[in-house]
């Protein structure tokens, strides 16, 4: 193996042609001697990759071109001999930093310009520097460098430098002036906005459109929230498409009013909305603003032309274009967003309503989680709520008898949405059958969405690993569900091609499939998927085994 080679001497062999660039693959090379041959052309820059090289001798050849600056990366190089060649140009200034270099010989070449400012060059005997074109520097036998020789452009470069200083100075002054004007303009607009709100009594805030959009523009764009502009319905409100005068398009979620009218805690709601606007993630819909008018209380989001995942799967024509690679990327995107909410936000944010209708797609099928106006900041003393929030069929089973909400509720909903993407429909019947052993006999291929072509072996391999994680996410006991951070990391691992005959395998066989130590089996026939997902909880002491974990 070239990578194991430490010493190579091909000196005095009458070899010709260019020096092989494959030498850069000899990653452990310490000694390289190609002297006294007939090598020509340039010195290959790949030699600069040899980080362990200590001695390099290329003398007595016919090498031409300039000295590659990459050679300065050889921080362990002690001896450099490139004498008796035809190498031209100046020696790269980066050679000043070669602190390990103790001996150099560059004689009988065509070098010109200033000698590097390092001990190895400045203390080198004249015999090792002689017979070059026009070398100068602080070394015995060489003429001192004039400013012009150090910088060939001489006074001209000074003029260019002066021009650049004046140019950048003018630009900096211009930026300061523009910045001051923008600050003054913003203050004036803020005062006008406060004045408008004082007149109308409508608290309205929008962090986009350069402050040009008013509350009346939203009402006008939706024609007073007419049903013909409605593009979606949710448990907390209806979503309308608003085409603004600026040409921008927003999704306006008009929240359902409370039984007593208006928002009961304006200060708390406003502070929470401001916290949610700080979220910045490519797979989370941006919240642009809100309005707290008791008659029209709404949230403003970015609009996605791809619509919701629910509508895509319900349309056979659209679902046929939703191939397996796009589906897997959507699943990954949702997992990344939830992992960010649960583990990278402080305090963590629990969505509480992950479902296919709240996963929006752009035209490139990139997933974006929406409905953040209904999400809650999970503080240490706020895991209990007095009302149910979510979509039936997607919510975790424990919410049927308790209102204790934590991140594991989102994990369960993620499992449902993932199964929906894989099967092409809401997987209610499949989830219901998980408490029995009947699902073991289902053919794996029959679970996959039939409106698109069967997946390739590579995609099948990924889906097999994905199914293992999904069924853990659907565990009836929240303690045994993995975290979304574990799931997102697990989904990021490349998977090998699936070599089994998957079209005749049952779901039970798929879930027991052992590959690359993904499953850890114990003598009691329990199979637990934690070797890659991490430990999601303490060992199950109940008699009921985790779903999908039976032989």
What one-character-per-residue DSSP string does 382-416 give?
--B-SS--S-TTTS-GGGGT--B--HHHHHHHHHH
Active-site annotation holder among 353, 371, 410, 449: 353
Q: Is 497 an active-site residue?
A: no
Q: Which two tokens stand for residue 393?
A: 């069929």
- Residue 521 and residue 536: Cα distance in Å, rounded? 16
∠ Cα 215 220 224 (to 5°) = 95
C-alpha span between 506 and 440 (Å, rounded): 6
Q: Fill in the DSSP letter of residue 260.
A: T
Give 308's contacts (C-beta < 8 A, 6+ positions apart): 232, 356, 357, 358, 359, 360, 361
- Is 305 flagged in the annotation as binding? no
Gyration radius of the chain over CA positions: 34
CA atoms within 13 A on the CB side of 128: 17
Six-digit token string for 199: 């007149």
Print the SS3 string covering 103-117: EEECCCCEEEEECCC
CA pair distance 61, 81, nearest whole angstrom: 11
302 alpha carbon, distance to own chain's centre: 21
Q: How far apart are CA 179 and CA 337, in angstroms?
A: 35
Which helix H or strand E contains 289, and what residues bound it?
strand 287-292
Q: Token digits for 409?
A: 């509720």
Would you state the structure tokens that stand for residue 38, as one six-digit string?
A: 């007939």
- Cα 383 → chain centroid: 30
Q: Annotated binding site, which residues?
A: 254
Q: Annotated binding site for ATP, which residues?
A: 254
Q: Which residues are catalytic?
A: 353
């Amino acid at each position: 193996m070239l990578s194991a080679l430490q010493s190579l001497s091909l000196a005095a062999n009458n070899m010709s042609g260019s020096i092989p660039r494959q030498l850069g693959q000899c990653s452990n090379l310490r000694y390289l001697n190609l002297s006294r041959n007939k090598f020509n052309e340039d010195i290959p820059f790949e030699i600069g990759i040899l980080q362990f090289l200590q001695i390099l001798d290329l003398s007595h050849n016919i090498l031409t071109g300039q000295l590659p600056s990459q050679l300065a990366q050889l921080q362990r190089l002690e001896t450099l001999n490139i004498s008796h060649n035809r190498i031209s140009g100046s020696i790269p200034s980066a050679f000043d930093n070669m602190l390990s270099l103790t001996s150099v010989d560059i004689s009988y070449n065509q070098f010109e310009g200033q000698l590097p400012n390092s001990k190895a060059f400045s203390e080198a005997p004249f015999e090792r520097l002689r017979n070059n074109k026009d070398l100068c520097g602080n070394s015995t036998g060489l003429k001192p460098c004039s400013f012009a020789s150090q910088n060939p452009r001489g006074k001209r470069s000074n003029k260019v430098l002066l021009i650049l200083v004046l140019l950048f100075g003018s630009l900096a002054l211009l930026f300061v002036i523009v910045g001051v004007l923008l600050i003054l303009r913003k203050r004036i607009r803020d005062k006008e906005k406060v004045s408008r709100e004082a007149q109308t009594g409508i608290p309205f805030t929008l962090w986009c459109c350069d402050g040009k959009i008013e509350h009346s523009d939203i009402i006008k764009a939706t024609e007073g929230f007419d049903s013909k502009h409605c593009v979606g319905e949710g448990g907390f409100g209806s979503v309308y498409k608003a085409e603004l005068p600026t040409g921008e398009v927003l999704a306006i979620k008009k929240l359902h009013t409370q039984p007593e009218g208006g928002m009961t805690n304006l200060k708390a709601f406003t502070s929470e909305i401001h916290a949610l606007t700080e979220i910045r993630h490519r797979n989370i819909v941006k919240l642009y603003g809100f309005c707290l008018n008791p008659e029209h209380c709404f949230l403003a989001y970015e609009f996605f032309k791809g619509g919701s995942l629910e509508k895509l799967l319900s349309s056979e024509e659209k679902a046929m274009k939703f191939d397996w690679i796009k589906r897997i990327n959507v699943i990954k995107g949702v997992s990344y967003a939830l992992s960010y909410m649960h583990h990278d936000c402080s305090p963590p944010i629990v969505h509480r309503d992950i479902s296919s209708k709240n996963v929006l797609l752009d035209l490139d099928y990139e997933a974006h989680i929406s409905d953040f106006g209904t999400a809650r900041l999970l503080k240490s003393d706020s895991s209990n709520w007095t009302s149910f929030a979510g979509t039936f069929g997607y919510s975790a089973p424990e919410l049927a008898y308790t209102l204790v909400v934590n991140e594991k509720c989102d994990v369960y909903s993620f499992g449902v949405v993932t199964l929906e993407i894989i099967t092409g429909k809401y997987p209610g019947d499949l989830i219901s059958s998980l408490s029995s052993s009947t699902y073991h006999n289902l053919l794996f291929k029959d679970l996959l969405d039939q409106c698109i072509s069967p997946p390739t072996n590579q995609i099948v391999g990924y889906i097999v690993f994905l199914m293992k994680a999904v069924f853990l996410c659907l565990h009836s006991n929240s303690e045994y569900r993995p975290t979304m951070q574990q799931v997102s990391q697990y989904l990021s691992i490349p998977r090998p091609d699936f070599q089994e005959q998957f079209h005749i395998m049952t779901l039970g066989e798929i879930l027991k499939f052992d590959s690359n130590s993904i499953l850890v089996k114990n003598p009691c026939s329990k199979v637990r998927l934690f070797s890659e997902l991490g430990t999601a909880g303490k060992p199950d002491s109940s008699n009921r085994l985790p779903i999908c974990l039976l032989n």
